[in-house]
Amino acid sequence: MRLLSTIVACLALAGLVARGSAQDQSFREEPDSVAVRQGETVTLTCAIDNVAGIVQWTKDNFALGSDRALPGYPRFTITGDVNRGQYNLLVQDTLLEDDGTYQCQASPTETQQGIRSQNAQLTIYLPPDNPVIEEGSSVSVIAGQPKNVTCRADNGKPAATLTWWKDGQEITEGITYITEDAGEKRKNGVSILTLNPSVDDHGKVLTCQSSNPAMDANKETTTQLNVEHTPVVVVQSDPPLVEEGSSVSLSCESRANPGEVNYQWKKNGVVLAGENGQVLRLNNVRREDNLQVFTCDATNAVGTNSANITLSVQYGPEPLKTTGQVIVDRGTSATLVCKWSGNPSPTIMWTKKGSSSVLGTGDTLTFPIVDQSHSGTYQCTAVVPGSGEDSREVVLIVNGPPIISSFEVQYASSGDEGQIECLSSNSPPPSRMAWTWNGIMLDTGTEGRFTAEQRDVHGGRLSVLTVSKVQAGDFAEYNCTVWNRLGLTSKIITLRQKEPLPLAAIVGGAVAGLVLILVIVLLVFVFCHRRRKKQGASNESITRLEVRADGQETPPKEKVEIIHRDHEAAKDKVPPPPPQRKYYITADYDDRDYSSKTSLGAPPPWTPPGGTYQDYKNGNLYSNPYNNYSSYPAVSEHSYERASIASRASRASEAQKKPRMMTHV
């Protein structure tokens, strides 16, 4: 009976609903999804027009109730103006358990259907634990070998975002990120960094940084890389450029982890026994050592690494290849080759012998088209700055038609034997040489009084036409023709009579010879005469008296000694009265102008013993300076003596005072 009543009521309600009302209840504002940090307050909005049913909120499809206080949920409250249809859900001090899907609903009535809002997701954010690098505060890796480093931040909601940094530079490659379920809607964030460490990474700092919407600031943790590696080796030369014959030190610098390193030197791949230090000393380096490769092997616990250096030895130019002689035909090209070695590389210049003009540079000198003017000797000079220069010669021979280089006019005397010469001086050698005159052609052999002969001489081939007992009719023109494989050349040579030597020339030559003989005899006589007079004057000496500026004589200050070759004889003899002589005032040797002569005439020639004077001031020798003398007036011939200066020191003192001296001539 009760069931029947219920069915009737439902049918009646359905009928009422079917009939409908023009003012159905509807949502004016529906809740939106929102995310907040745990502990924050959030409001989910809900506004309904023409509310007819009962309004309530559900969480994860579970009704929270229709009372505004929501019993059993002390942090939940329905707020808003009911008269305006506002049924907002206020959640205070949110907790992780508040995370879920919420919906605002109005129940049906007899006349209206029930309504439900869209789902609103309330997300509660939780900060993760502090990030941790599982390998610890230091990570040991080997250079060149991949290594995984793991960073994690657990219990975050959502899972923490993890980023990697190396010495302040963000790493974006080689990262794998995963999340793990930590329960209660929490997640663990895990980041795996695959490192490819290099030597330069040693000591650098890796940073793992975590972030999450619930965090006010990012958090980070660090680890330092300890990159073990084989030695990084650098070999240096001191000096970098070694002069030939000098010494050089090769040093092997290494950077390694671990730092204990052993060394071994090699030359061109061959181990140098006993050379296991950081420095290799090479003495008396030769040019053969240039470009030799020296290797330093450095070994530590991780392995061995090597470095090479190519020795650079400075040396002067050394010829490698020279085309000593090049023979080409006229009109073709010619290339002269002259290769040198040297360090630094030589600068090569080409010149033609006898000329300083530079024709080209480099290993080769090329002439695109040559003629016979190109024939000659060329020099290639190689210069290495600081090491000198050297040169070699290359001969270029240009084949062409014959060249005749004989004189166009040649001479002979009547009645004597005469010769006419024809010289062919180029390449290739002549295949034929012939003389023609007065209708006669003669290569070699004899034709009457004419004989033709040929021979090789320096510079070419010579054909000589000999005429026996030259007659007047033989003074004529002779044609010399020369053939070779490139053509022929002819030249007219005129034979003329040799003029007899004029009588005047003969007489003049005889007179000149006679004069020359007389001059030689006179010179010998003068030489002998002067030598005898020098020997006669060898017992004489010079008396020098000081004269004051007023012309008065002053007694000598030094001790005066008698000088004579025979000192013992001089003790018992009284010197004869002096000959009549004149005195001329002169300056000291270093002040006297010997270039002027007086008007008194030249004095008699006189040379002291030994033939030279000693300049005691300057230590120089003078040959007889009295051949030239000054023009001071003559002084009385009284007060003279043969004297010599007792010491060089007192003489130097006189030179400083520079008194005027009287010279006995």
pLDDT of residue 577: 54
Q: What is the mean pLDDT of residues 544-549?
A: 40
pTM metric for this prediction: 0.49
Q: Given this model, what pLDDT does residue 537 score?
A: 52
Mean pLDDT of 579-585: 44
Which range among 34-43, 87-96, 556-565, 650-659 shows the weakest confidence by mean pLDDT? 556-565
Q: How many Cβ atoms sit within 10 Å of the Cβ of residue 122?
A: 20
What's the pLDDT score for residue 514? 87
The tokens of 335 are what? Answer: 């290339």
- Give yes or no for a contact between 121 and 206, defined as CB atoms under 8 angstroms apart: no
Give the chain's largest Cα–Cα span.
Answer: 202
Residue 502 pLDDT level (bands cut at 50, 70, 90): low
Q: What does the CA dihedral 236, 242, 248, 249 come to, rounded to 10 degrees?
A: -10
Residue 661, strand partner residues: 546, 586
- Upstream peptide bond of 239 is cis (omega within 30 degrees of 0): yes
Distance CA 482, CA 404 (A): 8
Distance of CA 234 to CAs 144, 249, 250, 254, 623, Å?
Answer: 19, 14, 10, 6, 73
* Lowest-confidence segment of 7-21, 106-120, 396-410, 439-453 by average pLDDT: 7-21
**Which residues in 72-93 are b (16+ Cβ under 10 Å) and which e?**
ebeebbbebeeeebbbbbbbee
Is the pLDDT assigned to residue 596 strictly greater than 50?
no
The H or E element that residue 19 is part of is helix 2-19
CB 45 within 8 A of CB 88: yes
From 604, 592, 576, 623, select the one nearest 664 (Cα to Cα): 604
**What is the DSSP code string of 171-195?**
E-SSEEEEEEEEETTEEEEEEEEEE
What is the pLDDT, as a whole number, of residue 641? 37
DSSP secondary structure letters along 573-594: -PPPPPPS--EEEE--TTT--T
The whole-angstrom separation of Cα 191 and Cα 171 is: 12
> Quick one: which H or E segment has residue 516?
helix 503-536
Q: What is the token pair recorded at 127?
A: 């900060």
Q: What is the C-alpha to C-alpha distance for residues 565 and 545, in angstroms, rounded to an integer? A: 22
Alpha-carbon torsion 323, 324, 328, 330, what sign?
Answer: positive
Q: Considering just the CA atoms, what is the radius of gyration of the chain in Å?
A: 64
Burial of 18 (0-12, 13-18, 19+ CB in 10 A): exposed
Segment 299-316 shows an average pLDDT of: 95
pLDDT digits (tens, 9 = 90+) for 242-285: 999 999 999 999 999 999 999 999 999 999 999 999 999 999 99
- Is a pLDDT exceeding 70 seen at residue 581? no
